Amino acid sequence: MFCVDALDVAAELALPAYFFFASAASDFAIFLNMPYLYPGLPSFKDMGDTLVHSPGMRPVRAVDMPLSVQDKESDMTKTRMYQFKRIAEGRGVLVNSFDWLEPTALKALADGVCVPGRPTPRVFCIGPLVNDGKKSGDGETRHECLAWLDAQPERSVVFLCFGSIGAVSAAQLREIAYGLESSGHRFLWVVRSPPADPADVFQPRLEPDLDALLPEGFMERTRDRGMVLKMWAPQAEVLRHAATGAFVTHCGWNSALEAIMAGVPMICYPMYAEQALNKVFMVEEMKIAVPLEGYEKRMVKAEEIEAKLRLVMETGEGRKLRETLAAARKMASDAISNGGSSEVAFAEFLRDLENGGCNN
C-alpha cells in the first residue's frame, strides 16, 4: 500500500496499477478519506476521545486513529497523507477481507463517499488470506504447547499473544500475570522482553527472563493450569485447537482473521500501527471482541484483565461472541470456497487486469 510511487512507473508503461491492502476494508475507507478530512481538524493527539466522522463510516475516537498520524505536523503524518491520497489513483485495490464481515465499509467505498471529487478505486475483497494452521512439512516437529493443549478441556484455555513484535512494559506483564492468576482460568501466554524504548516496537529483543519479569511464585502457583512461552508460539495452530476458548490479542489484522477462521472470541489490547482502529470495528461493528480498558495508556490493570477473561469465558455475553464467531467462521470459509465471494472477486480482478488500460 505504501509504494504509491509505483503509480508513476505504471503510467509510463501504460499498465493498470493495483494495490494490495493487507488490513481491514474499514481501515482502508478511513485512510482514503483522511487527506480530505484531516486538514480541517486539530492533531488527533490533541483531540482525545472526540469522535472523528468519516463519510459512511462509524465514528472513531481520535485517540484510536493510527499512531503514525496522531501528530498532524509530523513528517510521518505528511507522508501518510501523500500515500493515502495517491492510492485513489489506482485502478483497483485488493483487500484482505471478505464481503460479509465489513458491509458498512464496503458500501461506503462502493458509493464513492470516501474520496470527494474523483472516482474511488474498485475494491476486490479476496480474503481471508491467513495461515491455515497446518504444519508446513512432514518432518516438522510439533510444538510442545500443542501437546499441552491436547491435555486441556475443550474451550478452556485463554491464549495471550501480541504478534511477532508486540510487547508490553515489565509493570504491564505483572498486571497480566496477576489478572490471569485471579481469573482461575487456564492460559497459554507468549511473553516477550519489554522494549528498551517504548516508541520503537521494531527493535530486536533478547529472550525474556521470566523469573525476573513475572511476580515471585507466579510460575509455581499456576503451573497446573498455565503455560508460559518465550517469544513465539504457532499461533494459527493454537487458535484452531479445540482447547482454545479466548484470544487476548494486539488486534493485528492477520491475527484477527486467524481468530475468525478458528471461531475464537477476542479480547483487545491494541498497541501500534492501525490496531486501535481495528479494535473499534472488531468490537463495535463486527461484534467479535471486547476491549481491555486502559490500553490507550499502555497499562491495563489486573482487575480489568480478570473481568474481561471472566466475561468471555463464563457469561452469556461470551456465548454470544462465540455464536457470532461461529457465523463469521462459516462465512469466511464460504468466501474462499469454490464460487464464494472472495473467489469470485479474485476472478473479477483477473478479468479487470486483462481488460485494463492505463490507470489514468
Q: Is there a domain that residue 1 lies in?
A: no
> Same domain, yes or no, for 110 and 254?
no
Q: Is there a domain that residue 360 lies in?
A: no
> Same domain, yes or no, for 154 and 292?
yes
pLDDT of residue 167: 85
Q: Which residue has the cell 485502478?
A: 91
> Same domain, yes or no, for 348 and 297?
no
> Same domain, yes or no, for 111 and 173?
no
226-261 pLDDT tens trace: 999 999 999 999 999 999 999 999 999 999 999 999
pLDDT of residue 2: 74
Domains of the chain: total = 2
Q: Is there a domain that residue 181 lies in?
A: yes
Find the domain containing 15 and state its range: 6-127+336-355
294-330 pLDDT tens trace: 999 999 999 999 999 999 999 999 999 999 999 999 9
Q: Is there a domain that residue 248 lies in?
A: yes
> Same domain, yes or no, for 62 and 100?
yes
Q: Which residues of the chain have pLDDT under 70?
A: 1, 133, 135-140, 198-201, 357-360
Query: Do the Cβ atoms of 271 and 202 come closer than 8 Å?
Result: no
Residue from 124, 126, 110 nearest 55 by CA: 110
The reported pTM is: 0.94
pLDDT of residue 323: 98
CATH number for the domain spanning 75: value is 3.40.50.2000
Q: Using N-to-C axis directions, what is the helix angle for 316-335 and 341-355, rounded to 10°?
A: 40
Q: What is the dihedral of CA 32, 35, 36, 37, to 10 degrees?
A: 90
